[in-house]
């Protein structure tokens, strides 16, 4: 069945792969990112593959922008019942060097963003009596040096997910989280740059620590998101799936 999905942070990386995957699963997809122009590539890839997509520019941490974005999706693609809260940023630093702004911006995009988007979309999910929410957590939720802000946000995503599952289950809405390990995207590229390591060497170093012997790719995460968004996953809710090439990466 064709449904309308919103994927946040879908201009690139994991969000772009998830948007493409949900479109190939037959859904109409709103490709949402900070800058609408940056969404063009993902939208074109979906259209080239025969799918339906629109670009939406919005900051997920801004309540008014979120309300406008969800209203636009409803008007142009139909009421959204699938939501993937993927938009994210990193501002890594050891605790003693971490600024209040590093803390606030990371918590704001991940947690406030997921909260605002989910609150706006659940209206349509409850009305439809069906919905899927997928939240991006991370293996960093288990603790990661230099990421006090990000680890707190990603652990928070897990508690948020479980609570949505409890509150929205009676309306046919499931909520699950995916906790990726090392995925090759611009986010990990920027970490390599900050550490002064070539990206290929950084990927090889990460792969050496991962039980399946390779780094992850955005399509690995998109596949898990596709399952959680499917009709047949209707009895799976409140779960955190580590997609990390092993129990922890």
Contact between 45 and ligand NAP per CB under 6 A: no
CA distances from 110 to 146, 156, 195 (A): 17, 9, 23
Task: Specify the 3-state DSSP secondary structure of 86.
Answer: coil
Select 103 or 130, whichever has its Cβ closest to ligand NAP: 103
Which residues have CB under 8 Å from 3's CB, separation 6+? 27, 28, 81, 82, 130
- How many angstroms separate the CA atoms of 77 and 30, rounded? 8
Give the up-direction half-sphere exposure of residue 161: CA atoms within 13 A in the CB hemisphere. 30
Q: How far is the CB of 210 from ligand NAP (least distance, A)?
A: 11
Contact between 11 and ligand NAP per CB under 6 A: yes
Residue from the set 4, 42, 86, 174 that interacts with ligand NAP by CB under 6 A: 86
- How many angstroms separate the CA atoms of 33 and 12, rounded? 9
Q: Which of 98, 8, 128, 107 is nearest to 60 (CA)?
A: 8
Write out the H or E segment, with its range, that includes residue 57.
strand 53-57
Residue from the set 6, 7, 13, 175 that interacts with ligand NAP by CB under 6 A: 13
Tokens 């900070």 correspond to what residue? 34
Active site residue 150: yes
Contact between 185 and ligand NAP per CB under 6 A: yes
Q: How far is the CB of 71 from ligand NAP (least distance, A)?
A: 17
CA distances from 241 to 41, 175, 179, 224, 248 (A): 29, 12, 6, 8, 11
Select 9 or 80, whichever has its Cβ closest to ligand NAP: 9
Select 130 or 182, whichever has its Cβ closest to ligand NAP: 182
Residue from the set 69, 70, 82, 88 that interacts with ligand NAP by CB under 6 A: 88
Contact between 116 and ligand NAP per CB under 6 A: no
Contact between 236 and ligand NAP per CB under 6 A: no
* Chain position whose Cβ is nearest to ligand NAP: 13
Q: Which of 180, 176, 179 is nearest to 235 (CA)?
A: 176
Interface residues for ligand NAP in 125-164 (CB under 6 A)?
136, 138
Select 9 or 245, whichever has its Cβ closest to ligand NAP: 9
Contact between 35 and ligand NAP per CB under 6 A: yes
> What does the DSSP 8-state code read for residue 51?
-
Q: Which residues bind ligand NAP (CB under 6 A)?
A: 8-9, 11-15, 33-35, 38, 59-61, 86-89, 109, 113, 136, 138, 180, 182-183, 185-188
For the annotated catalytic residues, the residue numbers are 150
């Amino acid at each position: 069945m064709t449904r309308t999905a919103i994927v946040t942070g879908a201009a690139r990386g994991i969000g772009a792969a998830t948007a493409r995957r949900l479109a190939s699963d037959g859904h109409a997809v709103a490709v949402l990112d900070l800058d609408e122009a940056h969404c063009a590539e993902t939208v074109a890839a979906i259209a080239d593959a025969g799918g339906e997509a629109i670009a939406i520019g919005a900051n997920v941490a801004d309540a008014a922008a979120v309300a406008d974005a969800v209203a636009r999706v409803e008007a142009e693609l139909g009421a959204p019942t699938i939501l993937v809260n993927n938009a994210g940023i990193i501002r890594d630093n050891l605790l003693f060097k971490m600024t209040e702004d590093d803390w606030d911006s990371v918590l704001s995009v991940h947690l406030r963003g997921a909260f605002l988007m989910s609150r706006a979309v659940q209206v349509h999910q409850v009305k439809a009596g069906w919905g899927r929410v997928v939240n991006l957590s991370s293996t960093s939720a288990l603790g990661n040096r230099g990421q006090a802000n990000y680890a707190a946000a990603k652990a928070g995503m897990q508690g948020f997910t479980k609570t949505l599952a409890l509150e929205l289950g009676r309306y046919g809405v499931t909520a699950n989280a995916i906790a990726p390990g090392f995925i090759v995207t611009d986010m990990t590229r920027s970490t390599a740059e900050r550490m002064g390591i070539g990206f290929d060497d950084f990927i090889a170093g990460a792969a050496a620590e991962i039980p399946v012997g390779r780094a992850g790719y955005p399509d690995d995460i998109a596949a898990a998101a596709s399952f959680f968004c499917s009709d047949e996953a209707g009895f799976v809710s409140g779960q955190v799936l580590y997609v990390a090439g092993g129990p922890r990466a």
